């Protein structure tokens, strides 16, 4: 008689589904890779504008973590009881940059003058969907260029598409996230933060999450000192003093 001994087999962890705003797509992929190497938890990433992801979550999309490009939409999900209040955290501060193939402005007045005199088509994300698009609109409003001027915004559904318009020479200049660095020759100018409202990027765990435990591990990893210090190399500012 043959006796078979079967040891307990530990089930492989389920993938952590991360919904990430387009501006943070590449950092999220790199951080997710580091997270998987550390915790052996696989990840799956969905990239779209914050507004698009917000709508999907309100309709029950099974995302485990939502990395928004603003604070408004995660807070709305909490207020609507569609996300866990104790999971709400700020994870990065964004910066807006002006991209051009001509000489880069060095001051706000030079930026205003260049936008008034240059090609009339400017790429930016849709301000109704993307926080960086809203920041671009606020910048143009502050410079009195949003209405009644020859400047024509060319709207991408998210900041990645706006960068694509610039990269493909559809437009001569763009207002996009500092984290987006298209290939090719161009100049950039970091837009003064006084021209737009602060871009505080927040995250939250939706109530529809199927892996909340792994989600909290990922949040702890993202907010760790080691990961926060990496944000500056991707064009972000830290949310704590750790980067100073």
Query: What is the phi/psi pair of residue 94, to 5°?
Result: -95, 160
Q: How many CB atoms lie within 10 A of CB 120?
A: 14
What's the count of helices (H) and strands (E) in the chain, helices before strands?
8, 10
Please give the structure tokens belonging to residue 47: 């990239």
How far is residue 175's CA from residue 190's CA, in Å, rounded to a whole number?
Answer: 10
Q: What is the DSSP string of 14-27?
A: PPEEEEEEGGGHHH
Q: Is 49 annotated as a binding residue?
A: no
Q: Is 224 annotated as a binding residue?
A: no
How far are the Cα atoms of 8, 130, 193 from residue 198, in angstroms, in the given order?
52, 14, 7
Residues 6+ apart with CB under 8 A from 128: 51
Tell me the angle at which helices 50-58 and 72-79 cross, rounded to the nearest 10 degrees.
10
What is the 8-class DSSP label of residue 158? S
Known binding-site positions:
50, 159
Known binding-site positions for molybdate:
50, 159
């Amino acid at each position: 008689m043959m006796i078979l001994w079967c040891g307990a087999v530990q089930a492989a962890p389920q993938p952590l589904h991360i919904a990430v705003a387009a501006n943070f797509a590449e950092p999220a992929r790199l951080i997710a890779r580091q997270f998987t190497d550390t915790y052996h938890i696989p990840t799956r990433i969905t990239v779209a504008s914050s507004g698009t992801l917000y709508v999907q979550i309100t309709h029950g999309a099974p995302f485990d973590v939502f990395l928004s490009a603003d604070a408004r939409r995660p807070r709305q999900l909490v207020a609507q009881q569609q996300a866990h209040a104790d999971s709400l955290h700020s994870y990065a501060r964004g910066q807006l940059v002006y991209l051009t193939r001509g000489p880069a402005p060095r001051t706000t007045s030079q930026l205003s003058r260049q936008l008034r005199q240059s090609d009339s088509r400017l790429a930016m994300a849709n301000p109704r969907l993307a926080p960086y698009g809203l920041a671009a609109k606020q910048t143009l409003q502050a410079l009195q260029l949003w209405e009644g001027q020859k400047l024509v915004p060319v709207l991408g559904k998210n900041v990645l598409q706006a960068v694509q318009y610039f990269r493909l020479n559809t437009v001569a200049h763009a207002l996009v996230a500092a984290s987006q660095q298209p290939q090719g020759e161009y100049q950039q100018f970091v837009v003064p933060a006084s021209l737009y409202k602060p871009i505080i990027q927040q995250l939250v765990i939706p109530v529809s999450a199927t892996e909340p435990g792994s989600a909290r591990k990922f949040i702890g990893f993202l907010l760790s000192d080691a990961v926060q210090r990496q944000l500056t190399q991707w064009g972000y500012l830290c949310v704590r003093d750790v980067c100073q």
